[in-house]
Chain A
Amino acid sequence: MNLSVVKAYMLKEFTELLRTKMIIMVYLLPSMILLLFGYGIRMEVTHARTLVIDNDQSHFSRMLTAKFEHSKYFDTTVTQMSEAEALHRIKQAKTDIIVIIPASFEKRLLHGQKSEIGVFVDGAFPNRGMTMENYVQGVVLNAAQSVAGSLGSHGGLISINSRNLFNQAMRDENAIVPGLIGLVLLVAPAILSALMIVKEKERGTIFNFYASPLSRSEFLAAKLIPAFLLHSLNIFILFLWATEVFDVPFRGSFSLYWFAAEIYILISLSIGMLISVITSRQIVAVVLTIIITIIPGFLYSGILMPISSMAGGSYIEAHLFPVMYFNHIVYDCFLAGKGLASAKTAEYLGILILYAVILLLLGTALLKKELK
């Protein structure tokens, strides 16, 4: 490798990144995504707008409404609205849940007759709809247990005592922010490197490379190393945002996190570079990069659902994208802290390294150093 030529080329790339203000993008974009999403995405449902229609107005029904009113999960309004009117409010997206307590609720209960509580949940957001449904059931069951206690029922009661591993307080931040690092470090470097070669193609300056004695691997090294070094800093910046701003605990080894992240950046840069090699217009490269990094990055990150419960095609696809492997390591570093002692982490790190090597070789093989 001709080091002095590579160095000169790298210097040119650095200067260009500075002059085109691309450098702002390198540091603004990852932090912005992390902060906006960290504050913006909430899996947990709180303050669901709830209408309780109490047609009974008895001791029991009031006890039940009080349970709703005292829960942080519901913003409860007790009304005498008609059912149709309440449904109309759901259609206008002004209410999420309607709970209807039937007339003579208490009386029937005391006589041991069956009575029905009607619950309507806005299912337009499927997972929120399910969560809200579960919460409502939980509240009613809870009320049922305390009433049963006061009525003096017999028989053994089973209570469930659950321990949430890795995230005792069930903070949304702990569950989401580490996953976002995997998304950010996939998207941002890829967009940067996607433009690097195709830009020269569109402008025609790629002929400088065709005519120069630079070899293909030297050219790629010169293109990727500046981007790689600049993005390496983001590993630390994102780590600080996560631990300092979002208070995510870090239980694992920092050097493992660092090493895995560097490999991951290399993968992401190589993906962008591959796109850059096969496209001929900047616009196509940008759109293609966004589409093939953001969507899998989000779907297969483990933020929305664990990979283990995917089925069929998506289970295989998840294993084809690097984000799953990296996120396993990141979640381990932040929340579990087992490190390389766990065989799976070591295996995934190996896969990431293999991934990086394959992509780099592929990029070198596909890059052409001649006119078509």
Chain B
Amino acid sequence: MNRVFWVVFGKEIFGFLRSAGLVAVVLYAFTADIYIAGKGIQIKPRNVKIGYVDDTGGGISRKILSHLHRPEFLKPRRFNSQKALSRAIFNKEILVGILFDQDFEKDFRQGRKAQLNLLLDATAASQSFTTLGYLQNIVMDFSKPNFPVVIKSHKLFNQNADNHTFMALTEMLSVTTLLIVILTAVVFVREKEEGTWDIMLLMPVDPKLIILAKSLSQVMIVMAGVILALGFVIFGAFNTPMNGSFWAFILLTFFYSFSSAGIGLFVAAVSKSTMQVAQLSIIIMMPLIFLSGAWTPIYAMHPILQFLSLFSPLRYYIEGSESIFFRGTAFVDLLPYFGGVLVLGVLLYWYGFRKIGKLF
């Protein structure tokens, strides 16, 4: 009994290793791809291009502009008229335009309310808004009302708002999901396509055992990939801090891979060819990945989507992983995530056993 299990397991591992293209793609996905995603994006404003039109003598305006410096802002560029400035914004050469009009300095000196006009490129909302926040702070320092309040602000878990580690981690979780679902589904569907699956089921071996062995082989392939990604990219290239327990993460990944293999099993059960697997898994996976809370927290979504996300194992996995990596949550508080992943996994396998594990 046990021997059958390991023979099926070994067969699938060898099958995977023989296809050089597949091995290369999996390796690429778990290393270079995660690296690119982590390296590429920085949401904190950086190199923001500022343009200004200065119709004042240049006392206060100079002082304000001198606060805008690297690395957040490039040196502000001067334009001669508002028209030239707006043209530059329309061409996306400038992100934020500042207009100091003639009355600005006069009003300020005479203690009246001085108005500073800003033009923001709203298609780059997060950068423009953060720049606005910066400017508000600078301006606040100037007008200094008699109000001695200091805001002592801490961003917990990630004080520098470092996006690289976050993006890399999110990407790794998405890649894990993508590969485990497609690989598992294809392992079953290929046998269906070639007609060997019926023969498997006819053998005097419990079909559940075969299904488990086949899924486990793919889970192990993905686990190996995760460990590579952790070693080389997450810890190696990005120095991601690990505030929680490493083993809790590995355990969670293992359970999660198994229950996502369940999704693959489901896809395989309802489709007949690799082509259909590709379609179905993309249609199932895109919402799964992007609505899992990786890009927008669940509670900020539309209520219907919030409800649907309860059925996504990725939701529990992502929240759990973020808690382990960044928040350093204690094991007891992680139990809901383990629970969610396990319950969904059991349900998917139950369906898979019934649908694909029987001849009739």
* A and B interact physically: yes
Which of the 9-residue segments A1-9, A37-45, A221-229, A261-269 touches chain B?
A: A37-45
In the complex, chain A residues 114-136 whose Cβ is within 8 Å of any chain B Cβ: 114-131, 133-134, 136
At the interface, yes or no: B231 with Cβ under 8 Å from chain A?
Answer: no
Asked if B143 and A158 sit within 8 Å, CB to CB, the answer is yes
Could you tell me the distance between the alpha carbons of A241 and B148 in the complex, rounded to whole angstroms? Answer: 51
Could you tell me the distance between the alpha carbons of A290 and B283 in the complex, rounded to whole angstroms? Answer: 12
When A157-B145, A338-B90 are in contact, do A137 and B153 touch as well, CB less than 8 Å?
Answer: yes
Q: What residues of B have a CB within 8 angstroms of the CB of A284 in the complex?
A: 19, 21-22, 25
Which of the 9-residue segments A205-213, A311-319, A350-358, A359-367 touches chain B?
A: A311-319
Size of the A side of the interface (Cβ < 8 Å), in residues, is 118
Q: What residues of B have a CB within 8 angstroms of the CB of A216 in the complex?
A: none
At the interface, yes or no: B127 with Cβ under 8 Å from chain A?
Answer: yes
Q: How many A-B residue pairs have CB under 8 A?
A: 361
In the complex, chain A residues 278-327 whose Cβ is within 8 Å of any chain B Cβ: 279-284, 286-288, 290-291, 295, 299-300, 302, 304-306, 308-311, 313-314, 317-318
At the interface, yes or no: A58 with Cβ under 8 Å from chain B?
Answer: no
When A130-B155, A156-B143, A158-B143 are in contact, do A115 and B301 touch as well, CB less than 8 Å?
Answer: no
Which of the 9-residue segments B5-13, B134-142, B345-353 touches chain A?
A: B134-142
Could you tell me the distance between the alpha carbons of A109 and B139 in the complex, rounded to whole angstroms? Answer: 21
Asked if A41 and B163 sit within 8 Å, CB to CB, the answer is no
When A91-B327, A126-B158, A282-B278 are in contact, do A131 and B122 touch as well, CB less than 8 Å?
Answer: no
Could you tell me the distance between the alpha carbons of A138 and B182 in the complex, rounded to whole angstroms? Answer: 46
Asked if B127 and A141 sit within 8 Å, CB to CB, the answer is no
Smallest CB gap from B163: residue in A: A126
When A304-B41, A314-B39 are in contact, do A40 and B290 touch as well, CB less than 8 Å?
Answer: yes
Smallest CB gap from A87: residue in B: B156
Asked if B42 and A305 sit within 8 Å, CB to CB, the answer is yes
Asked if B39 and A302 sit within 8 Å, CB to CB, the answer is no
Could you tell me the distance between the alpha carbons of A92 and B91 in the complex, rounded to whole angstroms? Answer: 45
At the interface, yes or no: B230 with Cβ under 8 Å from chain A?
Answer: no
CB 8 Å contact bits of B91-113 with A (1 = contact, 0 = none) = 11101000000000001111111
- Option from A123, A299, A336 in Cβ contact (under 8 Å) with B41: A299
- Option from A126, A154, A170, A280 in Cβ contact (under 8 Å) with B161: A126
Interface size class, chain B = 35 or more
- Option from B126, B139, B140, B283 in Cβ contact (under 8 Å) with A43: B126
Q: What residues of B have a CB within 8 angstroms of the CB of A159 in the complex?
A: 113-116
Which of the 9-residue segments B46-54, B219-227, B248-256 touches chain A?
A: B46-54
Nearest 5 A/B pairs, CB to CB: A148-B145, A123-B155, A167-B122, A123-B158, A164-B122
A residues whose Cβ falls under 8 Å from a Cβ of B: 20-22, 24-25, 28-29, 32-33, 36-37, 39-47, 49, 87, 90-93, 109, 112-131, 133-134, 136-138, 140-141, 144-145, 147-149, 151, 153-168, 170, 172, 174-175, 191, 195, 199, 202, 279-284, 286-288, 290-291, 295, 299-300, 302, 304-306, 308-311, 313-314, 317-318, 328, 331, 335-336, 338, 342-344
Add 6 more A-B contacts to A20-B276, A40-B291 (CB < 8 A): A40-B287, A141-B136, A155-B143, A283-B22, A291-B33, A314-B41
Q: What are 10 contact pairs spanning A and B, CB under 8 A? A: A109-B149, A112-B146, A125-B297, A134-B133, A168-B122, A281-B19, A291-B29, A291-B178, A295-B37, A313-B39
